Structure 1
């Protein structure tokens, strides 16, 4: 699908970018990404994927916007309070980039509806704060053979990885699945919600932007995705480290 003159002007910096070019931007513009969670991690993901020109964004989130969200979920404003996050995020994406098609689904993703909600996507980005939801998304993506970018946050630390267990390495073995990284769900005491322990407001923006980068490079076909590797970022030190898992 050729880019229109308006798209060529909008994405000019991508088109002249080595290893992206017009072909890479065309792949982004033709892609459909499903985003599960429009909160701390989902907000920057939505902003940067919309800006990058991902052709279709399906935004899935059952929650509404509260005042405590605004310090870190910066795609929302006071005018959005009490609105469903998915609806407000879709409106934001449409204002940011009229070249794309955002769709909102105000519902919880569960093991029963995950495949229906995610079917047809070229890639899924997941940034919920529920390990039950994370596991349901990962299982559905594995069954549907859709690559998954997934992230998690602590008060001052965050992590990102890419899952595609249906793909094989050069040696013929499959890339690891969600259970290889999280064999069991953490206990509430081991992973308390941010309502109890807090989260630095810039941290979701940093980690969410890393997640958007993983989605863009996977679809555009440049760089090396975080398959079998987890990137861990510390806001205390400003350092990132990458660990392998299998």
Structure 2
């Protein structure tokens, strides 16, 4: 095989890689969500995000999420639009306290149209916790594809819930903006009957799913309470979109 043939094969391999793209995996660790963010993506996000009732996005009282998506968006709107930085992999090391990891991941991946929605959902999910997040995006044309973040959290409270929790944040561009979902999973030591008392005021039981109780929450969204031994696993779900 001559030198020109070798170069031709190599070029075809490189072209195929660029055409197929793949997943971009970003990981990071953080202790508190920040107040900084972008302004430009709000053009897409504000129209799509569901404004939760005055009670905020606290799916249940224990543990409490202190700020709603709308509040998180307001903080991002007030901040200056930072300059873009090259895409890169973020290691699982502690990030500076001023860093908004969800917004940083979206920005570094080039997923600008859903950056504010992704950050608003993520910051509301992790408010008041120590957490690590791993974000996955498409390498090819990320601004036209979804963002997905899996989150591990640790609540620490002298008065409320202390312990681990997990979450999922998902945001995807639409023809008119961006839509997203957030899921939070918290294991309680109490049984599900006791855990139901932590639901926000105005919550109502709706049709169970295969014996698993489902509630329409007074603050918006839904919750499922699933028995696990003597305890209960609370699963909260919220959708933001038109």
TM-score, normalised with respect to structure 1: 0.25
The structure number with the bigger radius of gyration is: 2
Query: Where is the helix percentage greater, Structure 1 or Structure 2?
Result: 1
TM-score, normalised with respect to structure 2: 0.25
Query: Where is the strand percentage greater, Structure 1 or Structure 2?
Result: 2
